[in-house]
């Protein structure tokens, strides 16, 4: 877990997945996103699969990762489609994969399907030494459902489980981050995403157990952190 007292600007920047996932994203948007990520030293740019090769080129020579969102944002693709999309993103240079689970299968209590999907996705990413995050979309799930999927993750061992896409009816909550972290323990990390737009919210997520933050407000949060630290 992150010790807030040991944070500095550089360490905080390495917790951010700098995000632009809008349908209307242009080449200029990705150029701006990647420049910001390089200038500030963010951990990753979070994008849809098509611009992966562009962003990989734009980030060449930096240590910023390119992260592709898979089955995004609904999660209602077949497992085979998600695997194809993942392989394609990896072929184009993706360093990290954030995929959305089949939420309907969770609501049906078909946890065998969720396990099968997660095992297949984790296996493919491990084969290519690519980091993988599993998006739950907690706004649609009951607490017991969140816990059940987290228990599967604890066994299957993706790198992260993640709260939200940012496109659902709600984003990350401190309560959900804490539940997810308490369930997986030290076996899997937690990424908080969705609605995190200021330092106070970010800080609360980190204190609850998040070790990665997905946000389009990375620079604003960093500036507020600096102000808070020097106040």
Rama region for 166: left / alpha / beta (φ>0; ψ in -120 to 50; rest): left
Tell me if residue 98 is catalytic.
yes
The residues pairing with 69 across neighbouring beta strands, listed in sequence order, are 98
| Of 17, 95, 98, 176, catalytic | 98
CA-to-CA dists, residue 41 to 71, 195, 227, angstroms: 27, 22, 19
| Of 38, 105, 162, 181, catalytic | 162
Tell me if residue 191 is catalytic.
yes
Can you list the positions of beta strands (E) in the chain? 16-19, 44-47, 65-70, 96-100, 131-135, 160-162, 189-193, 212-215
Task: Report the distance separating Cα 176 and Cα 218, nearest Å.
Answer: 21
**CB–CB of 164/157 below 8 Å?**
no
Task: Report the distance separating Cα 157 and Cα 146, nearest Å.
Answer: 16
The residues pairing with 162 across neighbouring beta strands, listed in sequence order, are 135, 191
Tell me if residue 162 is catalytic.
yes
Q: For 122-140, b where at least 16 C-beta lie within 10 A, e where not — what string?
A: bebbeeeebbbbbbbbbbb
Residue whose C-alpha is closest to residue 190's, from 159, 147, 165: 159
Task: Report the distance separating Cα 173 and Cα 94, nearest Å.
Answer: 28
| Of 38, 105, 189, 191, catalytic | 191
Catalytic residues: 98, 162, 191
């Amino acid at each position: 877990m992150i010790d807030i007292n040991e944070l500095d600007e550089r360490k905080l920047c390495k917790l951010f997945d700098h995000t632009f996932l809008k349908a209307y994203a242009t080449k200029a948007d990705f150029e701006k996103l990647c420049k910001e990520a390089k200038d500030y030293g963010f951990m990753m740019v979070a994008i849809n699969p098509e611009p992966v090769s562009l962003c990989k080129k734009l980030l060449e020579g930096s240590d910023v990762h390119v992260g592709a969102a898979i089955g995004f944002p609904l999660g209602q693709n077949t497992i085979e489609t998600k695997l194809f999309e993942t392989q394609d993103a990896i072929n184009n240079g993706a360093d990290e994969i954030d995929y959305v689970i089949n939420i309907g299968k969770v609501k049906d209590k078909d946890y065998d399907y969720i396990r099968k999907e997660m095992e297949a996705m984790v296996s493919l990413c491990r084969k290519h030494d690519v980091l993988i995050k599993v998006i739950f979309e907690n706004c649609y799930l009951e607490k017991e459902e969140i816990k059940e999927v987290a228990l599967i993750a604890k066994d299957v061992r993706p790198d992260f489980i993640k709260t939200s896409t940012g496109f659902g009816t709600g984003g990350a909550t401190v309560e959900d981050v804490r539940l997810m972290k308490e369930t997986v323990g030290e076996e899997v990390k937690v990424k908080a995403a969705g609605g995190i737009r200021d330092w106070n919210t970010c800080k609360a997520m980190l204190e609850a157990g998040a070790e990665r933050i997905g946000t389009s407000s990375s620079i604003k949060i960093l500036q507020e952190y600096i102000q808070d630290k020097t106040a």
